[in-house]
Amino acid sequence: MTVRPVLRGAALLAAAVLVTSCGSGDTDTSEAATAPTGSSGDFPVTVETAFGPVTVEEEPDRVVALGWSDAETALALGVQPVGASDWLGFGGYGVGPWAEGRYDEAPEIIETLEPSLEQIAALEPDLILDTRSDGTQERYDALSAIAPTIGPPEGVGPYQTTWQQQLDLVGQALGRADQAEELAADVEQQFAEARAEHPKFEGTEVAVGAYTSEGFGAYVRGDSRVDFMESLGFVNKPAIQELAGENFFIPVSEEQIALLDAPLTVIFPIFVDAAEITSNPLWQQLSSVQQGNALVLEDEELVNAFSSGSVLGIQYALENAVPLFAEALQP
């Protein structure tokens, strides 16, 4: 099964190859937006992070959101960052269409992997969100010298902060912990409803992959796409999971192509045309392809949502991707 319309490489970034393929521009900026009032939180608040406790003395008024999906998470809680990084190359406001209309004014767009400290400082932030990034001490030290910085939680690898952890951290820092908890419960309920509606998902092995100019690859736990599938009841194929290392994307050689064979195979292209997947003899030889249990995702918005790991993107994917998974599992 192939789901069309549009393909843009910037929308299909694999977190495992962020360092080589991900980025956002420093252009298309405008006057910054400010956070709305009305937070019910009490300040100061102290947030536990991988770099120790961080205290936010007062309700933030000028938030800069640098980590993957940090801006969308703040927006989901009703706070508009004055600066943000556009990890998936959306352009414009730097967020997915599922967050459309949540900004009154566009934020200043800041580079992802190597953000300009001068640009950030010029925004005069009173809080920096960097909950899902490479999580290095060097990056944290540089940012925290500008303003209190909320880094990743303890015990996670680069870019491996889950949407639940991100929502919790951002909610605490913004004084909106109760709102964050309610939103998390809503999303968990949506997952539960999807599992109940599609009992075939439970325990079914899935292979989640991507295809680039370098060939095929597969994702393992810790990647938002696999975590999304397992939250639906699927189980990441054990043969793939056994190859997991520090990264959560593993290359799949021609000799290993059978790794992508599963009761459900989901794959999408990165910086290549989807036809390079569907016309590839290696792909065509997979039993899941021959039996109609393979899904090639091409729709730009859907793949972005599936890849975003943001609470808003996840809700979009639950609504739009789940029916496709169910269809691919039909006998």
Are residues 166 and 241 located together in one domain of the fold? no
Angstrom distance (rounded) from CA 207 to CA 209? 6
Q: What is the pTM of this model?
A: 0.86
pLDDT over 70 percentage in the chain: 88
Name the strand (E) or helix (H) holding 212: strand 205-212
For each of the chain's 331 residues, which pLDDT tens digit applies? 544 333 333 333 434 344 333 333 333 333 333 333 334 568 999 999 999 999 999 999 999 999 999 999 999 999 999 999 999 999 999 999 999 999 999 999 999 999 999 999 999 999 999 999 999 999 999 999 999 999 999 999 899 899 999 999 999 999 999 999 999 999 999 999 999 999 999 999 999 999 999 999 999 998 999 999 999 999 999 999 999 987 889 999 999 999 999 999 999 998 899 999 999 999 999 999 999 999 999 998 999 999 999 999 999 999 999 999 999 998 7
Q: In what order do the strands lie in the sheet with 63-65?
A: 108-110, 83-85, 63-65, 127-129, 149-150
Each residue of 280-314: pLDDT tens digit?
Answer: 999 999 999 999 999 999 998 999 999 999 999 99
Q: Six-digit token pair at 173? A: 């820092």
Q: Over the stretch 252-268, which tens digit does the pLDDT of each residue have? A: 999 999 999 999 999 99
Cα separation, 143 vs 278, whole angstroms: 44
Using an 8 Å Cβ cutoff, are 253 and 217 in contact? no
Instruction: Give the DSSP letter of residue 279.
Output: T
Query: Are 224 and 312 part of one and the same domain?
Result: yes
What's the whole-number average pLDDT of the chain? Answer: 89
Number of domains in the chain: 2
Q: Which of 117, 142, 177 is the last residue of a domain?
A: 177
- Asked whether residue 155 is assigned to any structural domain, the reply reads yes
Pairwise CA distance, residues 46 & 168, whole Å: 12
CATH code, domain carrying 22: 3.40.50.1980
Contact 80, 104 (CB under 8 A): yes
Which run of H or of E encompasses 302? helix 300-308
Same domain for 110 and 29: yes
Q: How far apart are CA 44 and CA 35, in angstroms?
A: 17
Is residue 183 one of the residues assigned to a domain? no
Tell which of 133, 150, 177 closes a domain. Answer: 177
Q: What is the DSSP letter of 211?
A: E
Which residues form the domain of 158?
15-177
Both 161 and 247 in one domain: the answer is: no
Nearest to 328 by CA among 286, 271, 274: 286
Task: Give burial (CB, 10 Å; 0-12/13-18/19+) of 91.
Answer: middle
Is residue 182 one of the residues assigned to a domain? no
266 φ/ψ sector (left φ>0, alpha ψ -120 to 50, else beta): beta
- Phi/psi for 33 (5° steps) reads -95, 160
Burial-class residue 232 by CB neighbours within 10 Å (0-12, 13-18, 19+). buried
Are 9 and 42 part of one and the same domain?
no
Q: Which amino acid is at 83?
A: G
